[in-house]
């Protein structure tokens, strides 16, 4: 049960660094290898984070027999190609959000993972934050009664040029895949499967969504009102509403340590559940737990749900007129 998980990191950008930092606080792991498109960048990263091997191309990491699990930390548009390559190399995977560009790509990863009997999980770190898990437990115990609706937002004015991954259509740019995935995924986490979506978007001259607002219709009839923006600061809170009260996850909700419960009968109570370090350790621990227990998926972030949520994003992008070349 204490098997050491030998991690490989694919990509050396911002989130790769945050994840390498988080791994320092995870027990029974080894940072075995890192891969970059440039050996120089991989070597610099390896020196900074104490990684054993530096590879100057991604294929070398997929083929590295001394790696159990690969964390894919490239822009969304590369996730599909990178994931398929690593699965063919026999690796378990933690794939950054958004999982892929569309449902078809997500389904292909899920199918290959099942065929090869390899573990894959979308890196939706929010689902593993201690405050989030406690909020879910309290809601499931009936603390706010019968849950009927949810509101969530995620926005900031992005200081990035048109070539940056946030705005470049070739890299899967747009607010929905970068930020909207959080309200969407957490709405499904709290209110259950989504059976319909209606949305509006404001597009950039390059044709990706600068911002979007959408309503989700959940199985069972509950509704979620969500928004995301790359042009406006928003409180970035998430509120779940039931017939006995509400539970609000404070901003920024996606890695929050605090929530408030307010009940109809009066009074508000605040709860505090600290995360470990920068918050990414929790998803790495979940991968470790699943691998040690022989699970091929995480029950908290199952593959079929990642595929279904990419399908909702496909539908939403079709409604607001955002198309990627791979669609
Ligand atoms: N969970 C979170 O909180 C969180 C936060 C930020 C980002 N993310 C996700 O993580 C992924 C990466 O985001 P990031 O902010 O880390 O991006 P980033 O800083 O631009 O890094 C991306 C890395 O991907 C590699 N890459 C491969 N092909 C590329 C290309 N054509 N253009 C640019 N980079 C390319 C590069 O590594 P090499 O040069 O070494 O090959 C680059 O350093 C995205 O899917 C994003 O949604 C998640």
Distance of alpha carbon 306 from alpha carbon 276, whole angstroms: 25
73 close to ligand 1 (CB < 6 Angstrom)? yes
Distance of alpha carbon 156 from alpha carbon 233, whole angstroms: 4
Check pLDDT > 90 for residue 206: yes
Helices and strands in the chain, H and E counts: 10, 14
Half-sphere exposure of 287 (CA within 13 A, CB side): 32
Distance 268 CA to ligand 1 centre (A): 40
Closest by CA to 130, choosing from 307, 276, 289, 253, is 276
Q: What is the pLDDT of residue 2?
A: 62
Distance of alpha carbon 125 from alpha carbon 296, whole angstroms: 18
Query: Which residue's CA is the closest to the ligand 1 atom numbered 5?
Result: 15
User: Looking at residues 292-321, what average pLDDT do you find?
Assistant: 98
Whether the CB-CB separation of 296 and 114 falls below 8 Å is answered with yes
Distance 11 CA to ligand 1 centre (A): 7
Distance 112 CA to ligand 1 centre (A): 23
Q: DSSP characters for 141-168?
A: TTTT-SEEEEEEEEE------TTSTTT-
Mutate to test the pocket of ligand 1, among 76, 159, 165 (most ligand atoms within 8 A of CB): 165
For the entire predicted model, the pTM comes to 0.98
Check pLDDT > 80 for residue 244: yes
Domain ranges of the chain: 5-124, 130-274
91 close to ligand 1 (CB < 6 Angstrom)? no
Q: What is the pLDDT of residue 247?
A: 98
43 close to ligand 1 (CB < 6 Angstrom)? no
Helices (H), the chain: 14-23, 39-49, 58-62, 76-88, 103-116, 130-140, 175, 181-191, 281-293, 303-320
Query: Which residue's CA is the closest to the ligand 1 atom numbered 27?
Result: 74
Check pLDDT > 70 for residue 278: yes
Q: What is the pLDDT of residue 202?
A: 98
82 close to ligand 1 (CB < 6 Angstrom)? no
Check pLDDT > 60 for residue 1: no
55 close to ligand 1 (CB < 6 Angstrom)? no
**Partners of 101 in the β-ladder:** none
Cis status of the peptide bond prior to 98, with omega within 30 of 0? yes
172-204 pLDDT, tens digit each: 999 999 999 999 999 999 999 999 999 999 999
Q: What is the pLDDT of residue 156?
A: 98
Average pLDDT, the chain: 97
Both tokens assigned to 174? 């747009």
Whether the CB-CB separation of 42 and 35 falls below 8 Å is answered with yes
42-68 pLDDT, tens digit each: 999 999 999 999 999 999 999 999 999
3-class DSSP state of 102: coil
**Partners of 200 in the β-ladder:** 213
Query: Which residue's CA is the closest to the ligand 1 atom numbered 43?
Result: 13
**In this structure, CATH architecture of domain 130-274:** 2-Layer Sandwich (3.30)
Both tokens assigned to 28? 């029974």
Question: Active-site residue 97, yes or no?
Answer: yes
Distance of alpha carbon 139 from alpha carbon 240, whole angstroms: 9
Q: Which of 91, 97, 117, 195 is catalytic?
A: 97
79-126 pLDDT, tens digit each: 999 999 999 999 999 999 999 999 999 999 999 999 999 999 999 999
CATH topology for the 5-124 domain: Rossmann fold (3.40.50)
Q: What is the pLDDT of residue 66?
A: 97
């Amino acid at each position: 049960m204490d098997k050491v998980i030998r991690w490989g990191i694919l990509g050396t950008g911002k989130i790769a660094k945050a994840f390498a930092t988080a791994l320092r606080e995870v027990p029974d792991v080894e940072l075995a290898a890192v891969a970059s498109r440039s050996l120089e960048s991989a070597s610099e990263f390896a020196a900074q984070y104490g990684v054993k091997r530096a590879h100057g191309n991604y294929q070398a990491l997929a083929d590295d027999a001394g790696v159990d699990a690969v964390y894919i930390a490239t822009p969304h548009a590369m996730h599909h190609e990178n994931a398929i390559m690593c699965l063919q190399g026999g690796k378990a995977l933690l794939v950054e959000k958004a999982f892929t560009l569309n449902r078809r790509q997500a389904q292909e990863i899920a199918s290959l993972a099942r065929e090869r009997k390899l573990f894959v999980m979308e890196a939706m770190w929010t689902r593993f934050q201690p405050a989030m898990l406690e909020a879910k437990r309290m809601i499931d115990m009936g603390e706010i009664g019968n849950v009927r609706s949810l509101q969530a937002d995620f926005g900031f004015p992005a200081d990035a040029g048109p070539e940056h991954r946030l705005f470049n259509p070739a890299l899967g740019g747009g607010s929905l895949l970068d930020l909207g995935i959080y309200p969407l995924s957490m709405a499904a986490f709290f209110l259950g499967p989504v059976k319909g979506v209606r949305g509006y978007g404001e597009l950039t001259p390059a044709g990706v969504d600068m911002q979007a607002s959408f309503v989700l219709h959940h199985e069972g009839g509950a509704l979620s009102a969500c928004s995301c923006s790359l042009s406006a600061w928003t409180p970035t809170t998430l509120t779940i509403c039931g017939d006995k009260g509400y539970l609000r996850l404070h901003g920024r909700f996606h890695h929050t340590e605090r929530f408030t419960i307010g009940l109809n009968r009066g009074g508000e109570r605040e709860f505090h559940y600290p995360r470990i370090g920068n918050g990414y350790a929790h998803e790495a621990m979940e991968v470790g737990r699943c691998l040690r227990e022989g699970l091929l998926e995480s029950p908290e972030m199952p593959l079929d749900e990642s595929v279904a949520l990419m399908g909702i994003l496909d539908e939403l992008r079709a409604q607001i007129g955002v198309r990627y070349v791979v669609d």
